[in-house]
Amino acid sequence: MAKDKTMYKHAPSGFAMFVAYIGALVYFINHADGFWQVVAAFFQAIVWPGFVVYHVLERLMM
Compute and round to an integer the Cα radius of gyration of the chain: 17
What count of other Cβ atoms lies within 10 Å of the Cβ of residue 41?
19
Domain of residue 20: give its range.
11-59
Number of domain units in the chain: 1
Let me know if residue 37 belongs to a domain: yes
Is the pLDDT reported for residue 14 higher than 90?
no
CA distances from 60 to 33, 56, 57 (A): 34, 6, 5
- 2 in a domain, yes or no? no
pLDDT band at 35 (very low <50, low <70, confident <90, very high): very high
- For the whole model, what pTM was predicted? 0.69
Is residue 23 in some structural domain? yes
Mean pLDDT (the chain, rounded)? 87
Residue 22 falls within a domain, yes or no?
Answer: yes
Mean pLDDT over 31-47 rounds to 95
Identify the pLDDT of residue 6: 72
pLDDT of residue 22: 94
6-20, 29-43, 47-61 — most confident range: 29-43
